[in-house]
Homo-oligomer: A and B are copies of this chain.
């Protein structure tokens, strides 16, 4: 019997892209992001290593890097997390350590750092199994999947037995859906036309391009100025025609009453959903916005953990659950969120974009289709055409759909040359931008 492989090191890279140069990613709350990643590698002596990341907007990426480094004692020198049992134990250790949990509990920097390491462990496990993460997950038994979930604080909404029943009910269709997924790909929508920093001509050009590329849905950022939003919605509708859905996204800009007022004004243009109308912590606020105006409500990219998702579902506050691959503590937390959404019958339409988020989250949506909800009706994965060239196994879109990944792992492995070029603050890209941006000084 082979000696168990041991994790020999945890490496962290602070990687930042100067996306604010062109206002890619600009919205009503984040006018000038520099898309960044705190990138982690779990090294082992004998087998493939595991890669993961946190996404940030630039300043603060060093804090995420420090938070990931603080987790090294929980993985280095321990057996490689390449089994279902070890992946569950690692998730529990990182999110419930009796001293570390004070930093959250289960939220913010600490939770995202745990997520980067948990996702790196899943990358490692999937590469060792020779399968993409979605397929590894979709091959686990209902019992194994339930064993990966932390049900603490969830049982008033979802018990392990209920979760098992859901997964068992989806089991017979797994093979058929896997075949269909591989043949057709998973539906996507694109946010690329709609950044707030784009002028009208760019918006129209990119909206037309989205339709030509086969997307059935686009998304516009809103919330800075109502007249601008009305004009941009009209332009977008003219560009895409009557049959393509247009979602809008306020990025937490409003209080409850303002969200209701603003969306009542935009409602004649029939937006498919209003995303992040207010604070991501405000369960009751989302419920009030949903009740107060006719447009469906979506949120999730900033929802801190499975306990807040639970409440959004219990309160009937959302029509779409927009989980994010790296905001919570990785695959295990997202498995809980997928199960909660399935229990309440609410479709999951994952958040993506940023750095590597499309690469990661496609696995979760595809697993959901094959083995949890068993459906892609009303479900779409966000797509943004940024920064994919830095990944070794980038997403592949065809006719507005994500192709199912075939390479082993979690698809978020960055090219070594990109890690070196965009290293902050001393990589050549930042050196060339001068000391002020290098120092991360706010305006």
Contacts and interface: CB of A to CB of B under 8 A. Distances in A.
Given A33-B98, A73-B441, A442-B99, A107 B110 contact: no
9 contacts: A60-B70, A60-B100, A60-B102, A63-B70, A63-B103, A93-B442, A106-B281, A108-B304, A284-B314
Interface of A: 29-34, 55-60, 62-64, 66-67, 70, 73-74, 93, 97-113, 152-156, 252, 255-257, 278-285, 288, 302, 304-305, 307-308, 310-311, 314-315, 439-442
Nearest to A310: B282
Contacts of A111: 108
Given A98-B32, A105-B302, A156 B285 contact: yes
A27 to B, nearest CB: 9
Given A73-B442, A109-B67, A110-B108, A284 B99 contact: no
Contact of A304 (B278, B281, B288): B281
A30 B255 contact: no
Copies in the complex: 2
A374 B283 CA distance: 31
A282 B102 CA distance: 16
A25 to B, nearest CB: 11
B63 A109 contact: yes
B107 A107 contact: yes
Given A73-B439, A97-B442, A156-B288, 7 more contacts: A29-B98, A56-B102, A57-B100, A63-B63, A103-B112, A153-B282, A304-B304
Given A108-B107, A109-B109, A256-B156, A29 B101 contact: yes
Contacts of A278: 153
Given A101-B29, A281-B307, A110 B60 contact: yes
Among A55, A73, A156, residue most surrounded by chain B Cβ atoms (within 10 Å): A156
